[in-house]
Amino acid sequence: MLGLLMTSASWGSDAKPEAKYLLSGLFETRRAELSATGRQQLDDIVAQWKAERALIVTVVGHTDSIPIAPQNRHEYPDNYALSEARATTVANYLRGMFDESVARLSVQGRGPDDPIADNATAAGRKRNRRVEILIRVPSSDQPTVQEEPAPPVAEPGVEPEQSQGNLSFDDVVAQANTRLTEGDGQGALALLQDYPDFVGNPDYDYLLALALRSQGRHEEAMFALERVITIDPKFAGARMELAQIYMGLGAEADARRELSYLQGLNPPPAAQAAIAQALAQLDKNKSRGSSSKTLRYYARSAAGFDGNANSATDLNNFLGFTLSESSRETASGFSEFGGGVQYLGQVKNGRQLIAYGDLAHRFNFDASFVNATTGRGGVTMRWRSETQTKSIGLQTYRQNVSGDLNSQGLGLVGSWSFNLTSQFSLGGFGRFGLVRFGDDQEVRDVDQYVAGATLNYRFPSRLKANVSGVLLYGNDQATQEGSRYDRDFYGFRMGGGLQFTPKVRAEAYGSLLQSDFDAVFFPEQFSSPREDTLVQFGTRVSWRLNDHWTLDHLWRYQENDTDVSVFDYDRVETQITATRLW
């Protein structure tokens, strides 16, 4: 049969057979449903092992190195998810055909990590798109079924937690089930939590998940359900609940994976109808997500503390002059309110039109002289393909401080990013901008040129972790004759993020920017041109509370080290922001 290759076959000293198969041509592009050719290949394998019992089966999915295009990631977010989905489909088919002959079955999705040919050629990529199956019969002294973990043992002199009640396991399950049926989720949860020694039993954990969901504690329910299917992969009810949680969290690829697994279990008609309804909802979401245009609104409020609200020196005197309050470091608590709108329009041939506007006002309790209102806006055209993303757009901003114009700007920005592998991308960007200040600061007006390179690496993990870096070089050209604000600047930024759960993500960054001015500032004291080194660090933790609310905590540190002491400062800021989406 084309695409089916037995790579090895052997018999141990006790004559127990073992074989490894390499299969290709099982699936269509970006699909995890078996083709007719694929089913025939698997039928041929099953026929070879029908006479055996207690089989141990391992199925491993592999892909080539071409990443899934951004416009197709609603189907599978990456090659790892696709390879796991395909391996799961194969495993489910074998489970159904072997029936009771399988003692243990495991699935892995390796994505592009283990190539057997050169991904630079079409023929090599075709060989790498494969599924490997290892089948063996264990020796007589090797256990085929994993034993249930022993219950926890209490420390000497300490009563186990089950002593909080005197019900048996069956009684707890029966009573919790009754309370859930009657709509008393809170009572069911209280009862179950009184018997923590039962954690790890699939029936207990399933009811615990139902009770947690009834109280809106979806993430905790998700962990309980994952314990269930780790012990009992065929627990259809747990997988259905897990799929519904994923749908509620917007993790549609994960939901589709669970539903596809359930379909492979040949469920009864009622369950098939529920699965079909859930898949139809995912298809509807997919269709809605690919509509021609989307308009979203948001409002946000924030509160925090700024250790140096005006980014000023801590000096009281400079060159014999006493500095005013607005020129000296001032700490203050603050509140901030704002909102905005974003438009996303789908254009033909993978193009997107993106437009946005945002307005915010910050009130500093102890530094009202730097109360600021800031407006931003922009429009961008983006092109996406399987291997690269390009964009070009206009950006603008205006900031008023204490009601008067502080600065405003307009910039033309272009960027390009190329996916070298499914994890690693490399790109570049360029910007030309005009920066203009208020009437009393026109000497600072500049035309600005910036160029840089970017890189990003995404770890092959379901935690969606990544690291990124940016190198940049720029030049400010003052528009006024005799201005001292001509400068070259260059630096780098490193950052990374980690998705702890579908709702919680943390990010951190650090950067350094070196500015070399052409002119000498305050020649009566200094003889060399001014040089600044700006160091910044920051963290951000985001919680998506539901589809409409997010909560963010930000912490930022800045330090500007310069040879002109009046421009030397450091600044620490922390804030909590709540955002409402429509």
Cβ proximity of 299 and 580 under 8 Å: yes
Q: What is the dihedral of CA 327, 557, 451, 492, to 10 degrees?
A: 130
Alpha-carbon distance of 258 to 326, in angstroms, equals 59
Name the token pair of 182: 């009657």
The pLDDT value recorded for residue 154 is 36
Alpha-carbon distance of 188 to 208, in angstroms, equals 8
Query: Tokens 């030049």 label which residue?
Result: 475
Q: CB-hemisphere CA count at 13 Å for 173? A: 11
Cβ proximity of 264 and 92 under 8 Å: yes
- Per residue, the 3-state secondary structure of 25-89, as one string, reads CCCCCCCCCCCHHHHHHHHHHHHHHCCCCCEEEEEEEECCCCCCCHHHCCCCCCHHHHHHHHHHH
- Cα separations in angstroms, 10 against 16, 19, 136, 148, 542: 8, 7, 9, 31, 53
* Strand boundaries in 282-385, DSSP class E: 293-306, 317-318, 321-322, 332-347, 351-364, 372-384
Alpha-carbon distance of 423 to 78, in angstroms, equals 9
Q: Best-predicted range by mean pLDDT among 99-103, 161-165, 242-246?
A: 242-246
The pLDDT value recorded for residue 313 is 94
Confidence of residue 140 (pLDDT cuts 50, 70, 90): low
What is the pTM assigned to this prediction? 0.56
What are the pLDDT digits (tens) for 17-29?
A: 678 888 888 888 8
Name the token pair of 455: 């890189």
The pLDDT value recorded for residue 388 is 84
Taking alpha carbons only, the member of 515, 363, 406, 496 closest to residue 450 is 515
The pLDDT value recorded for residue 222 is 79
What are the pLDDT digits (tens) for 344-403?
A: 886 666 678 889 999 999 999 999 999 999 999 999 998 877 678 899 999 999 999 999
Cβ proximity of 310 and 370 under 8 Å: yes
Element (H, E) at 189: helix 185-193
φ and ψ of 153, to 5 deg: -100, 130
What are the pLDDT digits (tens) for 286-333?
A: 555 444 457 889 999 999 999 999 999 999 998 888 988 889 999 999
Helix (H, G, I), strand (E, B) or coil at 490: strand
Whether the per-residue pLDDT at 205 is higher than 90: the answer is no
The pLDDT value recorded for residue 117 is 83
Q: Best-predicted range by mean pLDDT among 75-89, 447-461, 528-542?
A: 528-542
Q: CB-hemisphere CA count at 13 Å for 328? A: 11
The pLDDT value recorded for residue 2 is 39
Residue 256 CA, distance from chain mean position: 18
- Cα separations in angstroms, 444 against 64, 402, 431, 441, 542: 53, 19, 19, 6, 36
The pLDDT value recorded for residue 499 is 81
